[in-house]
Amino acid sequence: MRFLITENERNDIRKLYGLITEAPITPCAVFNEKSKNLVYDYDRIVNSYSALTKSSDINVIFNKINQDINTNATQYKTAGIPDRTSCQIAFVKIRPQFKGKKTIVTDSLNQLIYLFDENSNFIAKDPLITGRSEQISSEKEIADMTYDEKKEYLKNTLKREPTNDEIMNLASFLNPGAYKTGSAVTEPSYAGSGKNISYLSKASDDKLVGPAVHGVKPTNQRLNALTTAKKSVGTSSEKPKVSSTYLNGYDKSTLELSSGCLNLSKEFIDKYALTIENSFLFNISEDQENYYVNNFTPLLDATKCYSPQSVGGVNADNIT
């Protein structure tokens, strides 16, 4: 009689006899009292875990939160999902506000997008094009502006009409944070056979921001950058694993080409536009130590409305 065993069972036998060893799992960033200034739903998380642990002892609560984050993250990491994305989705999974919601995790250090279903199960992944600027804390509120708002800001600052390049190069990044994607609509200037763009608003207050998620702007540079990156990733979009060659050796600066919007390949936006719409999107901080960041102190006039709808602004990435 022959017995069939899975590859996982085969690896377990190898580990038992010391034929292979597991690489150590790096813990995720610690959730503690310092997170209160970084996570807008801090109190809600703590209160939910106080009820779960039946304890008001903050150390007991923190221990359980971090235990759950790392347990969940280890499962994702074992499947080949990069550490930063694994830790972020593991953190999202313990937050009451996002329970039962579709989730997107984007990482502009690794230039990757991951989609997860309502139960935080992997759906798909792909390389993406992100902003040409690194995340700069002093320009966070400026980065939220639309093209027209940046133009007005520079006009007031420079006391003259700004050039298109000056506008496009101003704070060209998506802030780290939690966002909502709107319903997908069609924009002919982007790649995609149908609905190909979803605008973003902040999860904390529903305020619309300038950057969006959309099919790639079809310039040769962007198309070639995505095509080359997809080959280096090493697996299809439907597989969670990313090759170590891509993570550790690929020049990801070749994908830093937009004014802040997240550009996706035609194949990916065609297949997953309806998965992307009406989801929560978490853009990971480029700070290696802290992927929780999604809050900041306003730098400009808090009474001024900067939503695209309020000023009739156009998406910055839709300017040639």
Nearest-angstrom CA–CA distance, 305 and 5: 61
Burial zone of 319 (CB within 10 Å; 0-12 exposed, 13-18 middle, 19+ buried): middle
Please give the pLDDT value at position 300: 33
Domains of the chain: 100-318 (2.40.440.10)
Asked whether the predicted pLDDT for residue 181 surpasses 80, the reply is: yes
- Of 52, 283, 273, the C-alpha closest to 179 is 283
pLDDT level of residue 242 (50, 70, 90 thresholds):
very high
| Region of poorest pLDDT, from 1-5, 104-108, 143-147, 300-304 | 300-304
What pLDDT score does 224 carry? 97
Nearest CA among 126, 143, 125 for reference residue 134: 143
Q: How confident is the model at residue 291 (pLDDT cuts 50, 70, 90)?
A: low
Q: How confident is the model at residue 24 (pLDDT cuts 50, 70, 90)?
A: low
Closest CA to 178 of 39, 76, 29: 39
Going by pLDDT thresholds of 50, 70 and 90, the confidence category of residue 65 is very high
What value does the mean pLDDT of the chain take? Answer: 85
35 — pLDDT class (breaks 50, 70, 90): confident
For the cut 60, the answer to whether the pLDDT of residue 111 exceeds it is: yes
pLDDT at 36 over 90: no
> Could you tell me if 184 and 273 are in contact, meaning their C-beta atoms sit under 8 angstroms apart?
yes
